[in-house]
Amino acid sequence: MSLASCRVVLVEPRIAANIGATARVMHNFGLSDLVLVNPEADPADREARKLSTQGEEILDRARIVKDFGDAVADCMLVAGTAARVGGPVRRQSVAAPEEVLPRVADALAHGPAALVFGREANGLTDEEVTLFLGVVDASHATLAGDAEREASAVLRAPIEAALSALAAGAVRNGPLVTALHWLALNRSRLAEIALTASR
């Protein structure tokens, strides 16, 4: 499996720093295809560049499209994140990251797949959610603030894909390989480790 065809889509991002932070995380995980849907923020903005740390090339190559459909039209599978998971529309397609991301990894063998992150202020619409096979439930995530939700979610969502890439030998960044090995070995103990560290 190659992560080269895994696309990250940001829907109407308003904060340039979030675009930059997303590019940084993408670079760290070996992703390179960034699509911005009708962005208010500019990926060339100084704040985006400042937070991109080695992801500048991703910002330079980011595609800007007018609507969501254009961003995912050629994708074999689309998965999005959502903090709101209730209601008749969202409840039907909610799944945990452990369930959704293996499907993303399988889809990548046949073509592009997309990880979609909604607007910083109010996420994705119900209409957009109906286009997804799975919505990752991020409602229990602890985040510093709403404006940081998008970049934090990008960092959080591709763990399964990253571990799959590690197993396939596709990760070539030394510190990232070390971090992913540690995560694979200690993932079940993360809550215990965090609790111990906070004492």
Q: Rounded to an integer, what distance in angstroms lies between the CA atom of residue 107 and that of residue 31?
A: 15
Q: Rounded to an integer, what distance in angstroms lies between the CA atom of residue 63 and that of residue 97?
A: 26
Three-state SS at 18: helix
Q: Rounded to an integer, what distance in angstroms lies between the CA atom of residue 4 and that of residue 187?
A: 25
Tell me, yes or no, whether 186 lies in a domain.
Answer: no
Best CA proximity match to 111, nearest among 81, 55, 72, 165: 72
Tell me, yes or no, whether 198 lies in a domain.
Answer: no
Tell me, yes or no, whether 26 lies in a domain.
Answer: yes
Query: What does the pLDDT look like over 132-155, one tens digit per residue?
Result: 544 444 444 444 444 444 444 454
Tell me, yes or no, whether 183 lies in a domain.
Answer: no
Best CA proximity match to 118, nearest among 41, 2, 13: 13
Q: Quick one: the chain helix, strand, coil %, rounded to 5?
A: 50, 15, 35
Tell me how many domains the chain contains: 1
Under 8 Å CB-to-CB from 88, ≥6 apart: which residues?
none
101: domain CATH number is 3.40.1280.10
What is the separation of C-alpha 99 from the centre of its chain, rounded to a whole number of angstroms?
15
Query: What does the pLDDT look like over 63-112, one tens digit per residue?
Result: 999 988 889 888 888 888 776 666 655 555 667 777 778 888 888 888 88
Q: Confidence class of residue 171 from pLDDT cuts 50, 70 and 90?
A: low
Tell me, yes or no, whether 24 lies in a domain.
Answer: yes
pTM of the full structure? 0.67
